């Protein structure tokens, strides 16, 4: 199945990332092989390296909004905004590109993570357990506008 949006109503919860990541910035356009599939990136986008050696790109404007440098550690950053996440008990896919032509694939037990409306990713269940903790706040830009009854 394809997951295109998470919501509190469907059981998703708010989490914050607790680990630092190493970041370089792309000098050319390219395609990065992540654990869950190939993801395109553009010049200037952030290329992140996680705790298990996993890599993923983040568009530069989103990166500048979501991450801050770690003081005294050149190239290291920490995520400063919460995400909406849900552990999925079956294999699934999430769209990566706006045209819906590129997908990431999650295994049963992996986490679907939403950083903003239309921005989904997949995080391996073991990496998620080491990298995230529950958050008490939920940003409205993750959920979208409230439903009107």
> How much is the pLDDT for 138?
57
pLDDT at position 5, please? 85
Give the Cα separation of 31 and 15 in Å (integer).
28
The pLDDT, as a whole number, for residue 127 is 97
pLDDT at 139: 53
Over the chain (149 residues), what is each successive 10-residue block's mean pLDDT?
81 93 98 93 97 94 94 95 94 86 93 87 96 77 41
Bridge partners of 21?
Answer: 77
Closest CA to 105 of 124, 96, 92: 92
pLDDT of amino acid 148: 32
Nearest Cα neighbor of 104 from 40, 60, 21 is 40
Among 87, 86, 95, residue whose Cα is nearest residue 37: 95
């Amino acid at each position: 199945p394809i997951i295109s949006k998470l919501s509190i109503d469907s059981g998703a919860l708010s989490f914050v990332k607790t680990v630092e990541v190493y970041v370089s910035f792309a000098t050319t356009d390219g395609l990065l092989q992540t654990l869950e599939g190939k993801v395109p990136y553009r010049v200037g986008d952030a290329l992140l390296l996680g705790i298990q050696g996993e890599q993923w790109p983040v568009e530069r404007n989103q990166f500048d909004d979501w991450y801050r440098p770690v003081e005294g550690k050149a190239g290291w950053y920490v995520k400063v905004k919460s995400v909406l996440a849900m552990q999925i008990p079956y294999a699934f896919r999430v769209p990566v590109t706006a045209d819906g032509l590129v997908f990431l694939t999650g295994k049963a037990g992996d986490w679907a993570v939403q950083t903003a409306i239309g921005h989904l990713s997949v995080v391996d269940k073991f990496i998620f357990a080491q990298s995230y903790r529950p958050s008490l706040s939920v940003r409205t830009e993750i959920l979208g506008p409230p439903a009107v009854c």
